[in-house]
A and B are shown apart, each in its own frame.
Chain A
Amino acid sequence: MSAQTDEAVLETRRLSKYFGSVIAIKDISMLVRPGTVTCLLGDNGAGKSTLIKTLSGVYEPSEGDYLCDGEVIHLHSPRDALARGIATVYQDLAMIPLLSIWRNFFLGSEPTKGWGPFRRFDVKKAKEITRDEMGKMGIDVRDPEQPVGTLSGGERQSVAIARAVYFGARVLILDEPTAALGVKQAGVVLRYIVRAKQRGVAVVFITHNPHHAYPVGDHFVILRRGQVYGDFAKADLGLEQLVQMMAGGAELENLAHELQREAGDDAELREAVAVLEQEVKAVAAEPVVVERRADVVSDEEGRPEG
């Protein structure tokens, strides 16, 4: 039931954002299609946060175009983005711990019944919809009265995702939804990402963990130092290549040197260095060769020296 089409719902063309003299992101070009998961990967400081804040309307781009449905748009606030169906679920969730699941689910968009002074919150409907929607995402809400604070981190993320999907998100931007989670809980969240995709939502999944990104992603955009370092379809990329790219041969080597300097006569650290050096050799022996996608405008020459 994948609703993949070739029309991009979001597109950026050479998008840049500067803060004074700092170039946070430079010439980012990418496409986001309905019914697909686009993974944005990058180490700390790669520009992931700036990019998603620009996509979600928190920042306005300094240069370049931001297109929604093929039309250039200018977002002035997250509300503008929401109005176009671009919803962002931040890591520090928009959830109120002491409130029950169903109250959280509908906070700010409560269904009502009755008229005039007797207009009231349709509690029964709210609970039903909450249970149904969570069910559609594959989670069995044991008790919608349960305060959100008693849910696990993964379940909380799931409520936030289910809510965004229910309220008509066409694009779902997830800011490191699995970062603070254990393996099992991250699995729960990854499952919802797939569910959202199957319902035709364009998911932008930000992470620095290739093992989380690879199983669910259709498309991988790797950021490094504020620029697009690589942009691949899943067919063109294996998990190992992705892992290597995330780590990067040069980075691994630096890390090995750094560790060696610290190691001294600590046997355990020396062992770690040996492992790293082996990995560096492996990366060197099998260089990552991947084709750039032709449909994505990406300007190699436009980059300043990294």
Chain B
Amino acid sequence: MATEVEAPPKAADERVRATGSASRLLARPELGALVGVVLVYVFFAIVAADNNFVSMTTLASILNRAAPLGILAIAVALLMIAGEFDLSIGSLLGFSGMAIMLLISPEDAGGFGWPLWPAVGFALLLTALTGSINGLLVNVTKLPSFIITLGTLFIFRGLTIAVTRSLTSRTQLSGIDEVPGFDLAGTLFGTRIELLGAKFSITIVWWVGLVALATWVLLRTRTGNWIFGTGGAVDAARNVGVPVSRVKLALFVTTALAAFLVAMLQVVQVNSADALRGTGLEFEAIIAAVVGGCLLTGGYGSVVGAALGALIFAMVQQGIVITGVDGDWYQVVLGSVLVVAVIFNNYIRRKAATR
């Protein structure tokens, strides 16, 4: 009795077609975004040729803009692959930035006068806690996270504004550079790297590092397999023993931590926190993830794709500024990029599935 390759060879022959590396590439979720990056860059390189679009300074300003959004998009993409949304991420960014500033502000200004690092640690804890509130609410109520986090979007934003104003009677606090211990923070979060005459923010380094880490987790660890499983078919995943609730909770905390990191980077870089900071970022991060090939319904997507999505986003933004087009058109262009990218991704995915 044959033990292997027992299927009649004829049947196998008519069904196996050589699928070259090209069609394998097509099956990758980030392909659409990669093509998008090239197309958008070439487009602006031609349209804004007179305005020096192809230059080190423009590249730096694109990357500096893409990096913070990209960091958020990593976490949002992971969560989206697990089948959930976090609309509160922009509010959490404002919340954590303000938490840091409130804790370190002198007592006579309405703050708590803490030293820098304990304040950072405590703010980190608070933010992780708010993230787990999102996760627990979604796990316990079984309601769509879209609704839950739409609620917490307003709750966290409102809380930030209300508490800040009642303590300090302002909505913007500055002066982190006067706190002892700022030097190390300034190096970690505020360094600018000069390269060929252009200034690159250290945020880019954080971004690239986190993309690598998150990609490794997603593709090469058990947790990654669980994330795909949770978003792909939640009941099936639960049946085979994937701790679905724990995966979701961990990812909601991850999005909160991503918001915290971006808040920390911004607080150090611009030396202030604003209760309104991060407004609208939740949608930008979701756009980046979707443009990067994540399925809104979960179970499919990539971190690299989300990073490329953030890059497209920043290129469009900078491109419009540099071209000198009226900024009022920015949202029109952005929306169009989103729609075109999703249509393109959908097409690619269908091609890939029936390769």
Neighbour of A139 across the interface among B7, B225, B232, B300, CB < 8 A: B7
Determine whether the beta carbon of B4 is less than 8 Å from that of A140.
Answer: yes
For A107, what are the chain B residues with a Cβ–Cβ distance below 8 Å? Answer: 225-226, 229, 237, 240, 242
> A140–B225 contact, CB under 8 A?
no
Chain B's nearest CB lies how many Å from the CB of A90? Answer: 8
Contact indicator A108/B240 (Cβ below 8 Å) = yes
Given known pairs A107-B225, A110-B225, the reply for A135 and B3 (CB within 8 Å) is yes
Residues in A78-98 with C-beta less than 8 Å from chain B? 78-79, 93-98
Cβ contacts B4-18/A at 8 Å (1 or 0 each): 111100001001100
Q: Does B166 contact A (CB under 8 A)?
A: no
Interface size on B, residues (CB 8 A): 33
Contact of A94 among B225, B226, B239 (CB under 8 A): B239
Q: Are A96 and B4 in contact (CB under 8 A)?
A: no
Task: Report how far A154 CA is from B225 CA in the complex, Å.
Answer: 24
Q: How far is the CA of A108 from the CA of B3 in the complex (A)?
A: 28
Please indicate the chain B residues that have their CB under 8 angstroms from the CB of A150 in the complex. Answer: 353-354
Instruction: Give residues 1-46 of B contacting A (CB, 8 Å).
Output: 2-7, 12, 15-16, 19, 24
Q: Which B213-259 residues sit within 8 Å CB-CB of chain A?
A: 216, 220-222, 224-226, 228-229, 232-233, 236-237, 239-242
Contacts of B220 in A (CB 8 A): 120-121, 123
CB pair B221 A99 closer than 8 Å: no
Q: Which residues of A contact B3 (CB under 8 A)?
A: 135-136, 138
Given contacts A103-B225, A107-B242, A140-B4, contact A94 B353 (CB under 8 A): no
How far does the Cβ of A57 sit from chain B's closest Cβ, in whole Å?
Answer: 12
A79 surroundings in chain B (CB, below 8 A): 241
CB contact between A96 and one of B221, B233, B295 (< 8 Å): that residue: B233
Q: Interface extent on A, as a size class?
A: 20 to 34
Describe A's contact surface by its main secondary structure: loop
Contact check: which of A99, A123, A138 meets B232 at CB < 8 Å? A99
B229 contact set on A, CB distance < 8 A: 96, 99, 103, 107-108
Q: Does B299 contact A (CB under 8 A)?
A: yes
Measured CB to CB, the nearest residue on chain B to A123 is B220
- Chain B residue with the shortest CB-CB distance to A184: B11
A79, A121, A143: which has the most chain B beta carbons within 10 Å? A121
Determine whether the beta carbon of B225 is less than 8 Å from that of A121.
yes
B190-229 Cβ-contact flags toward A at 8 Å (1 or 0):
0000000000000000000000000010001110111011
Known: A95-B233, A96-B236, A98-B232. A138 touches B222 (CB 8 A): no
Q: Chain A residues near B2 (CB, 8 Å)?
A: 138
Q: How far is the CB of B345 from chain A (nearest CB, A)?
A: 14
Please measure, in the bound complex, the distance between the C-alpha atom of A110 and the C-alpha atom of B3, giving whole angstroms: 26
Bound-state Cα–Cα, A150 to B17, Å? 14
CA gap between A99 and B83 in the complex, in Å: 14
A147 within 8 A of B: yes
B353 with A149: CB separation less than 8 A: yes
Q: Given that A99-B228, A109-B241 are contacting pairs, would A93 and B222 also be in contact in the complex, using a CB cutoff of 8 Å?
A: no
Kindly state the separation between the CA atoms of A110 and B228 in the bound complex, as whole angstroms. 13
In the complex, chain A residues whose CB is within 8 Å of the CB of B5 = 135, 140
Please, which residues of chain B bring their CB within 8 A of the CB of A97? Answer: 232-233, 299
In the assembled complex, 23 residue pairs joining A and B whose CB atoms fall closer than 8 Å, in A order, are A93-B236, A94-B236, A96-B232, A98-B295, A99-B232, A103-B228, A106-B225, A107-B226, A107-B229, A108-B229, A109-B240, A110-B222, A120-B220, A120-B221, A121-B222, A121-B224, A123-B220, A136-B4, A140-B4, A140-B6, A149-B353, A150-B353, A150-B354
- Give me the 4 closest cross-chain CB pairs, A-B, nearest first: A96-B232, A108-B240, A108-B241, A110-B222
- New A-B pairs, 16, CB < 8 Å, besides A99-B228, A103-B229, A110-B225: A78-B239, A79-B241, A93-B236, A96-B229, A96-B233, A98-B299, A98-B300, A99-B232, A107-B226, A108-B240, A112-B222, A121-B220, A121-B221, A121-B224, A138-B2, A142-B12
